[in-house]
């Protein structure tokens, strides 16, 4: 278990909190492993009825750790096994997943929300998918799910331009269910997660399964994205961009 990921069990809810505040909860390989372990354990734990994802320090996640990205130039071209565990499980995850988003949600901090069942954000939340600016392509099925959610033109604006967008915009396109004051966000998301955890488990699982028809297309899109993502990640152009980001 990573010291930067906290896992708590509260009234049938498994709360997974990203806790690397000094680095704006940017995800490292150890954090991916801890998240994957927690998700897999919650999926088979009969005491858990719902998963709640959140971040500490007024930030959800600033995305992948750029240092890990830069190291990829000397590493294998396939996806890291722990991130692959997360990417492989989320489209068909058997239990409801709720997210509470405060502050920055960048890169995977935004795309992971596409696989949550309910998403709540604070008025301070800011979202961004900067993949193209980093010399990369979208991941976690975003190239399929964002157009389906927001429409092709809006998706092109969000992904090709890669600008920040606020919680109101996220709610408008359907990425977020409700926007709340920062001081109310955590309690509201936990209360909703507890409500879900108290519902009949089999009916909940089967209904979520029905709502997620077409998951194989999402899996296929994730696989295709990842081939291109890894190809771009080790390219000289992208590595030069990463080096520039680290210098700043």
CATH code of the domain in which 147 resides: 3.90.226.10
In this structure, is residue 37 part of a structural domain? yes
Eight-class DSSP state of 135: T
Please report the DSSP string for 158-196 in residue order. Answer: IIII---EEHHHHHHHTS-SEEE-HHHHHHHHHHHHHHH
pLDDT band for position 98 (cuts 50, 70, 90): very high
pLDDT tens across 82-96, in order? Answer: 889 999 999 999 999
Residue 103 falls inside a structural domain: yes
**Distance from C-alpha of 15 to C-alpha of 189, rounded to nearest angstrom:** 10
31 has a pLDDT exceeding 70: yes
Q: Domain of 164? A: 5-181+200-206+211-247
Q: What is the pLDDT of residue 80?
A: 73
Q: Specify burial of residue 77 (Cβ count, 10 A radius: 0-12, 13-18, 19+).
A: exposed
Return d(Cα 45, Cα 11) in angstroms, integer: 13
Q: What percent of the chain has pLDDT over 90?
A: 88
pLDDT reported for residue 61: 98
Is 20 a member of any domain? Answer: yes
- Identify whether 62 is part of a domain: yes
- 106-160: pLDDT as tens digits: 999 999 999 999 999 999 999 999 999 999 999 999 999 999 999 999 999 999 9
Alpha carbon separation from 130 to 15, 102, 182, 191, 206 (Å, rounded)? 27, 18, 24, 32, 35
Q: Where is pLDDT greater, at 73 or 154?
A: 154
- Domain assignment present for residue 191? The answer is no
The span from the CA of 153 to the CA of 41, in Å, is 39
Instruction: State how far the Cα of 49 lies from the Cα of 95, in Å rounded to an integer.
Output: 6
Question: Considering its fold, how many domains does the chain have in total?
Answer: 1
Q: Is residue 148 part of a domain?
A: yes
d(CA 35, CA 17): 9
What mean pLDDT comes out for the span 59-69? 90
Domain assignment present for 142: yes
The answer to whether position 154 is within a domain reads yes
């Amino acid at each position: 278990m990573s010291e930067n990921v906290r896992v708590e069990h509260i009234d049938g809810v498994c709360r997974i909190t990203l806790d690397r505040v000094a680095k704006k909860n940017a995800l490292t390989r150890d954090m991916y492993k801890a998240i994957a372990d927690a998700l897999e354990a919650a999926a088979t734990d009969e005491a858990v009825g719902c998963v709640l994802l959140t971040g500490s320090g007024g930030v959800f996640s600033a995305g992948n750790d750029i240092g890990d990205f830069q190291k990829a130039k000397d590493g294998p071209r396939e996806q890291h096994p722990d991130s692959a565990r997360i990417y492989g499980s989320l489209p068909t995850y058997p239990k409801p997943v709720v997210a509470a988003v405060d502050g920055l949600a960048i890169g995977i901090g935004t795309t992971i929300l596409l696989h949550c069942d309910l998403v709540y954000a604070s008025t301070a939340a800011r979202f961004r998918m900067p993949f193209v600016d980093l010399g990369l392509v979208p991941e976690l099925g975003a190239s399929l799910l964002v157009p389906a959610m927001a429409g092709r033109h809006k998706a092109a604006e969000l992904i090709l331009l890669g600008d920040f967008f606020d919680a109101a915009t996220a709610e408008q396109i359907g990425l977020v269910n409700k926007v709340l004051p920062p001081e109310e966000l955590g309690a509201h998301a936990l209360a909703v997660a507890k409500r879900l955890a108290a519902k009949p488990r089999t009916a909940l699982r089967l209904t979520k399964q029905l709502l997620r028809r077409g998951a194989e297309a999402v899996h296929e899109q994730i696989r295709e994205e990842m081939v291109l993502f890894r190809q771009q990640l080790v390219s000289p152009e992208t590595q030069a961009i990463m080096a520039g980001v680290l210098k700043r």
